[in-house]
Structure 1
Amino acid sequence: MSNFVFVIDTNKKPCDPVPPGQARRLLKQGNAAVFRRYPFVIILKYPASLHPGPHQLKIDPGSKTTGLAIIQQDKVVWGAQLQHRGQKISNDLKARNAVRRSRRNRKTRYRRPPIKNRGKRQRSKGWLAPSLKSRVYNIMTWVLRIKKYVPITGVSQELVKFNTQVLVNPETTGIEYQQGELFGYEVREYLLQKWGRKCAYCSATNTRLEIDHIHPRSRGGSNRVSNLTIACHECNQAKSNQDIRDFLAQKPDVLNRVLSQAKQPLKDAASVNSTRWALFNQLQQTDLPVEIGTGGRTKYNRTRLELPKTHWLDAACVGTQDMLTVLTSQPLLISAKGWGTRQMCITNKHGFPIKHRERKKVFFGFQTGDMAQANLPRGKFAGTHVGRLTVRKTGVFEMTKHIGKVSPVRHKYCKAIHRNDGYMYAFSTISH
């Protein structure tokens, strides 16, 4: 079953979301019209008596993907997975810096700087890099957008993803949940993400994974997270209390990978830790009560409720949740794409200009970023496709879908269904 449909009345006041079948009947009877495609919103043609029930918006922030879920009286009526573009922003800034530096070196003589660190700006307290700030902005965009279409009465945020200081040194005191029953869930979830949810020794997936000491405790190994890994039951038993160099003597590549990965910091956890308070402060400015929970509590709820591991179901399990009924199995997949670039001169990989962009954005009624439906009559991609367009002056476009690209797509076969708003949309075809 797909997500519930958002409903607003003729005065654009949010009403309770309705099942897809009821929304279909309202549209067929002429009592409502389509207001927006993504997320799907219908607008009633009459004022409604507004007595909406309580709706809780739950957020599971992530470095690459954030889970969103709407809970109505212990029922999951809507879910979404928001994919961030933080790494692309970081890469683009590095590329721009390289092009500018190359151009300066080509066009100006070397001049010795008169003062070291001249012009260095002081960063304000709470400063975030653009790649991290974009994650906060993406989430807030969708919180405010959903608030316009759903009578949200509260927000739940997974505030503490991982406390890396406590994980590195479990003897640290003064942390509330460290002494509780959920500390084991924090460590295990940290390790599952760090090692890609597969056995570190044989790369087995879809099996029960156990925590293993890289350097055995019986040989002086510690409980630090840098000495822990994830292994399947067979590998864990086969290794026993052997030194890892003896156990992987015949697999030097695996040995080097495990030892190097064990020392690597968890980049994704660090980015979430850097943005969690900025997001919390932004959520408080919405004038909605904000509930917080830990990653351990989220996993505890999901395990107890026997739900699969997905971002949007993790979001549904954030905070206090005794019971949960999932009424949807098709979350909305949202990918942040940005609004394009203002760069007019296109350069090659060496930084030399090769061509200039057109000074127009709209061609044949479409612009890059529009979601369209293309009915292609012939060719390799014959059929109906829905995706995000990349337009060309020639009228031969390219379409990006969640599972790949479709090209060529001629403008005469396209029908716009959602104008560019900086995101690409699709629906998950995998049910839980």
Structure 2
Amino acid sequence: MSNQNYVFVLDTNGKPLNPCRPITARKLLNANKAAVFRRYPFTIILKKEVVDTPEPITLKLDPGSKATGIALLQREKVVFGASLAHRGQAIKASLDSRRAIRRSRRARHTRYRQPRFLNRTRAKGWLAPSLQHRVETTLTWIDRFIRFAPIGSIVQELVRFDLQRLENPEISGIEYQQGELQGYEVREYLLNKWDRKCAYCGAENVPLQVEHIHPKAKGGSNRISNLCLACDKCNAKKGTQDIKQFLAKKPEVLKRVLAQAKRPLKDAAAVNSTRWALFNRLKAIGLPVSRASGGLTKFNRTRLQLPKAHWLDAACVGKVESLLLLTQQPLLIKALGWGCRQMVQTDKYGFPRKGYRAKQKVKNWNTGDIVSVVAGKFAGITGKRLKTVRFKGNFDIRLSKELVISVSRNDIKAVHRKDGYDYKFAQV
């Protein structure tokens, strides 16, 4: 079994073929039978045409608020895994900053602009920019995988509840909660809501128990807003005490627990808002698209004894009998965006603090390009991003937070052009 992802293969006409092992791709490159087509995800292009029909691959998705898991499967073999980190929070912060700057202009003596009230209607299915970004970014990568691999079908985790009602439409009451997937949805919800920590002491990486904030012995209900997670020590110590009595000497913890219990799960709300929008856009692609349960995903992962990871969750989406992991090192993709369009930067008070921003592209080089240094005193440095490009020809490369080097554009070679994403591989 290889630790690395399989390599995508195209024939000379750009037709996607079955992915191959890294050692096979290396042999083809050394024999001059193929060339590197793309660095991330690593793709090679053959120098001949292939007539054979490749075996179809299933693309599975586990959409999340902060990251989306992606897995490519040939039957029950996982040949590629990736985790796509979204930038929804960064978009929200940028919009908040823009709003603050616009509001500050209202207090200054600027030119009069007539109010525009006729362009405020929102189209049907409108999503906030930070949510729409999640849909568009996921679709971008699905389109790339369709171009690089023979994708035959797509499976998306769509609904949060189990499939018992589909199997038995007449099920109701307590029977609905006592099936094969009993408790998985509630526990997963609580783990996300309480950040997989004890609500009282903050302990992590310990067995956590579902605990009633208002004791059940004193009339507390089983509503999700009355449940939290507690370690065995805190749960036993609290017993049937009222939470105000239990945390009488910790008023800050009491205030936090009561506030967090009433607070809705923001990440779950974001996923709920984008889930159906993504599903409808997937159906428009033209490939068979099926949906699966979030509870079933957790059930499959637990049954197969797999660790918690976005790409493994994606592999477990839908009906899964068994999985053979042919990779252990998924590609970690992080959305960075294409830069800021604001010409003049401002300080926290809204006043200009810099002059006009220079263009990012200089003689076919762009800020954010991944390069290798092939000549000069820094020769041998590879896989680093350009921090600054200048018309004079000397570019800055950041090696760490403190160390920045300057190299000539004649001494560097492009590894991967800027495409709005950052790439790295998970540590094995």
TM-score, normalised by the number of residues in structure 2: 0.89
Matches within 5 A, 1:161-310: 161=160, 180-182=179-181, 184-310=183-309
Distance 1:275 1:162, change over 3 A: farther
User: Counterpart of 1:220 in structure 2: which amino acid?
Assistant: G
Q: Distance in 1 between matches of 2:176 and 2:78?
A: 27
Q: Distance in 1 between matches of 2:197 and 2:55?
A: 42
User: Counterpart of 2:202 in structure 1: which amino acid?
Assistant: S
Confirm or deny: 8 A CA contact 1:84 1:336 kept in the other structure.
yes
Distance 1:224 1:376, change over 3 A: farther
User: Counterpart of 2:91 in structure 1: which amino acid?
Assistant: I
Q: Distance in 1 between matches of 2:397 and 2:225?
A: 46
Deviations 1:144-189 (A, max 9, x none): 00000100111111112479xxxxxxxx979x97675435111111
Deviations 1:334-384 (A, max 9, x none): 1111112222222222222233334432247531121223589999xx984
Gaps spanning 5+ residues in structure 2: where?
163-170
Equivalent residue number for residue 134 of structure 2: 135
Gaps spanning 5+ residues in structure 1: where?
164-171
Paired residue secondary structure (1:356): coil
- Determine what percentage of the aligned residue pairs are the same residue: 55
Matches within 5 A, 1:21-60: 21-60=23-62
Say which of 407, 410, 420 aligns to 1:411: 407
Paired residue secondary structure (1:88): helix
Q: Distance in 2 between matches of 1:183 and 1:125?
A: 37
Deviations 1:187-236 (A, max 9, x none): 11111011111111222222222211111111111111111111122222
Paired residue secondary structure (1:139): helix
User: Counterpart of 2:413 in structure 1: which amino acid?
Assistant: K
Say which of 98, 101, 114 aligns to 1:99: 101
Paired residue secondary structure (1:156): strand
Alpha-carbon RMSD across the aligned residues, in angstroms, is 2.8
Q: Distance in 1 between matches of 2:48 and 2:268?
A: 48
Equivalent residue number for residue 167 of structure 2: none
Distance 1:377 1:238, change over 3 A: farther
Equivalent residue number for residue 167 of structure 1: none
Distance 1:98 1:50, change over 3 A: same
Paired residue secondary structure (2:423): strand
Confirm or deny: 8 A CA contact 2:334 2:423 kept in the other structure.
yes
Q: Distance in 2 between matches of 1:51 and 1:233?
A: 56
User: Counterpart of 1:360 in structure 2: which amino acid?
Assistant: K
TM-score, normalised by the number of residues in structure 1: 0.88
Deviation, 1:425, is 0.8
Confirm or deny: 8 A CA contact 2:64 2:271 kept in the other structure.
yes
User: Counterpart of 2:4 in structure 1: which amino acid?
Assistant: S
Say which of 62, 65, 69 aligns to 2:64: 62
Does structure 1 residue 388 correspond to structure 2 residue 385? yes
Confirm or deny: 8 A CA contact 2:213 2:243 kept in the other structure.
yes
Confirm or deny: 8 A CA contact 1:376 1:409 kept in the other structure.
no
Deviation, 1:238, is 2.3
Paired residue secondary structure (2:16): coil
User: Counterpart of 1:82 in structure 2: which amino acid?
Assistant: L
Deviations 1:1-20 (A, max 9, x none): 11000001111101000111
Q: Distance in 1 between matches of 2:145 and 2:401?
A: 29
Confirm or deny: 8 A CA contact 1:58 1:69 kept in the other structure.
yes
User: Counterpart of 1:106 in structure 2: which amino acid?
Assistant: R
Q: Distance in 2 between matches of 1:216 and 1:398?
A: 58
